[in-house]
Amino acid sequence: MDLSAWVCPLPLRDSPNIVMGHGGGGAMSAELIEHLFLPSFGSAADAELGDSAVFDIGGVRLAFSTDSYVVKPMVFPGGTIGDLAVNGTVNDLAMAGAQPLVMSTAFILEEGTALTDIAGIAKALGRAAHVAGVRLVTGDTKVVDAGHGDGVFINTAGIGIVADGVDINPTRAQVGDVVIVSGDIGVHGVAVMSCREGLEFGTEVRSDCASLNGVVADMIATGVDIHVLRDPTRGGVAATLNEIARASNIGVALVERDLPIPADVRDACGLLGLDPLYVANEGKLIAFVPREDSDRILEAMRGNPLSAGAAVIGECVAEHRGMVVARTALGGNRVVDLPAGEQLPRIC
């Protein structure tokens, strides 16, 4: 098969080749899916091909999600690639309103990686699965030659069950919804950057990496009609809100001073020239709920230690549909764009 015969329809920006930004969860990632993967997959692929899918099998409503994890370094303050591999996939299922039940684990190991390192990562993975209440039921291991991998890459896929009447998806945001975040933002990204070669800056920030299925269960138990849930990972809160604004065709109006940004995250971002709105989180969620139900949801969230810092950060509006606008501390407005690539790659 002669691959050179394929014509690539991707808007090429600067390169006919893959660049790091294609993995950032921003505009370039979306282009890769829309203009390369979906047309190439053809009729076999669902048009959304999103973070998770919900469908019926034999009358049961299932959610299904997968992610590969390539975070560098593999061990960082507050977690490891093993914790991430569980929590990231559990959260993708939870954001569809599903109760995660089973998970697969597939390792791509680089020749020469220490067995003790792999055991430590596998132990963290097992512990995270235990905490989240998911069973590891099937797996795979591949080995690649030294210099053609990077220690350990992990893929997990998970299956969850969606209760009757639950319909949580990014197209359901409505004018009048409030936007809630479950706690401090920017923490995971800063924690990983703080120990990356060449970037050490001695912060005490630890990753927020956690499985949020318990938080979501508490929220669903209120009986409130939750419209959208999303975990703001790659691309941060900015990418997540832009995706939802486009998918639901509403405007998102943020209030900058209401964003919960810890002082050390703010300091680190200042040092690195980053905007905390674009920094990855691994244990936070964004919720869109009707304004009249927001107190009940906030009360339920604040009762769970993983979302004790829940706060309203904005609302859905009929203006600037498809866009996110933040009211600044000085009273002005600024557009919060979808990031193109990623400020710092390999964050998850």
Q: Which of residues 239-298 bind a copy of itself (CB under 8 A)?
A: none
Nearer to a copy of itself, 131 or 175 (CB): 131
* The one-letter amino acid at 226: I
Q: Are 182 and 91 in contact, with CB atoms under 8 Å apart? A: no
- Cα 136 versus chain centre, distance: 21
Strands 286-290 and 228-230, sheet pairing: antiparallel
State phi, psi for 309 to the nearest 5 degrees.
Answer: -95, 25
252 phi/psi in degrees, rounded to 5? -115, 125
- Judge contact between 183 and 260, C-beta under 8 A: yes
- The CA dihedral of 315, 317, 323, 325, to the nearest 10 degrees, is -60
Footprint (CB under 8 A) of a copy of itself, residues 75-104: 75, 79-80, 101-102, 104
CB nearer to a copy of itself: give 112 or 303.
112
User: Minimum CB separation from a copy of itself for residue 312, in Å?
Assistant: 30
* Cα–chain center distance at 38: 21
Segment interacting with a copy of itself (CB under 8 A) among 140-148, 187-195, 273-281, 299-307: 140-148
Q: Could you tell me the end-to-end alpha-carbon distance of the chain, in angstroms, rounded to an integer?
A: 34
Q: Which is nearer to a copy of itself, 151 or 314 (CB)?
A: 151
Q: Is 226 in the site for a copy of itself (CB under 8 A)?
A: no
Task: Considering the complex, state which of residue 14 and residue 332 has its C-beta at the smaller distance from a copy of itself.
Answer: 14
Does 44 interact with a copy of itself (rule: CB under 8 A)?
Answer: yes
Contact positions with a copy of itself (CB under 8 A) in 307-346 = 345-346
Residue corresponding to tokens 């933040």: 326
Closest CB 216 distance from a copy of itself, rounded Å: 18
Asked if 32 interacts with a copy of itself (CB under 8 A), we say yes
Q: How far is the CB of 204 from a copy of itself (least distance, A)?
A: 15
Whole-angstrom distance, CA of residue 251 vs CA of residue 248: 9
Which one of residues 34, 120, 262, 322 is an interface residue with a copy of itself (CB under 8 A)? Answer: 120
Q: What is the DSSP letter of 19?
A: -
Among 27, 62, 254, 306, binds a copy of itself (CB under 8 A): 62
| Residue 54: alpha-carbon gap to chain centroid | 17
Pick the piece of the chain touching a copy of itself (CB under 8 A) from 54-62, 181-189, 260-268, 300-308. 54-62
3-state secondary structure at position 322 = coil
Please report how close the Cβ of residue 244 comes to a copy of itself at its closest, in angstroms: 18
Among 52, 240, 242, 294, which residue sits at the site for a copy of itself (rule: CB under 8 A)? 52
Interface with a copy of itself, residue 122, by CB under 8 A: yes
Out of 26, 27, 29, 294, the only residue in the binding site for a copy of itself (CB under 8 A) is 29
User: Nearest to residue 154, comparing CAs of 109, 218, 114?
Assistant: 109
> Could you tell me the smallest distance in angstroms from the CB atom of residue 79 to a copy of itself?
8
User: Which of 27, 81, 95, 153 touches a copy of itself by CB under 8 A?
Assistant: 153
168 lines the binding site for a copy of itself (CB under 8 A): no
The reply to whether 199 sits near a copy of itself by the rule CB under 8 A is no
Burial class (CB in 10 A: 0-12, 13-18, 19+), 257: exposed
